[in-house]
Structure 1
Amino acid sequence: MNTKLVESIVQIVLSLTKEEQDLLTERLFNFLSEPSTRELVQLAQKGGAFNFLDDEPDLYTLADGEPVL
């Protein structure tokens, strides 16, 4: 890891005006993309946060109720 480079960048960012820092923040957040639905599903599956649902009974079927239009 290049600690000196990171520290230099921090110092440069801190030397910017509020307006310049806001612009930098906006540009960095626009550069980063949000995860796709597929990536979120894969994360949920691999993370195991919803594994408890595997033991839940199936309460509803396609024959239940009326179709939603």
Structure 2
Amino acid sequence: MNTQLVESLVQVILSLPPDERSLLEEKLFSNIPYPSTLELAHLAQSGGAFDFLHNEPDTYTLDDGEAI
């Protein structure tokens, strides 16, 4: 890896005026697609953030409440 080149680029970017820096960010990040709903659902399901729900009791059933 060319660390010296990366450091030089960072210094150049940091020295840019705000409008030029915004233009650079727009050029760099405009082609990055947003994740789809399916990708987000898969991430939520496989990420482990909701694993605690597997140990929660089933408080509600289909017989609770009124039908919609």
- TM-score between both structures, scaled by the size of structure 1: 0.65
Aligned residues: 68
Contiguous gaps of at least 5 residues in structure 1: none
* Counterpart amino acid of residue 20 in structure 1: E
- 1:24-56 CA-partner distances (Å, limit 9, x unpaired): 123333232332222222222332121110011
| Aligned residues: CA RMSD | 2.2
Q: Which residue of 2 aligns with 1:6?
A: 6
Fraction of identical pairs, as percent: 60
Q: How far off its partner does 1:23 sit? A: 1.4
Contiguous gaps of at least 5 residues in structure 2: none
The reply to whether residue 50 of structure 1 matches residue 50 of structure 2 is yes
* Counterpart amino acid of residue 41 in structure 2: V
- TM-score between both structures, scaled by the size of structure 2: 0.66
SS at match of 1:31: coil
Take 1:21 and 1:63, find their aligned partners in 2: how far apart are those partners? 57
- 1:6-32 CA-partner distances (Å, limit 9, x unpaired): 123213313322210111123333232
Q: Which residue of 1 aligns with 2:25?
A: 25
* Counterpart amino acid of residue 19 in structure 1: D
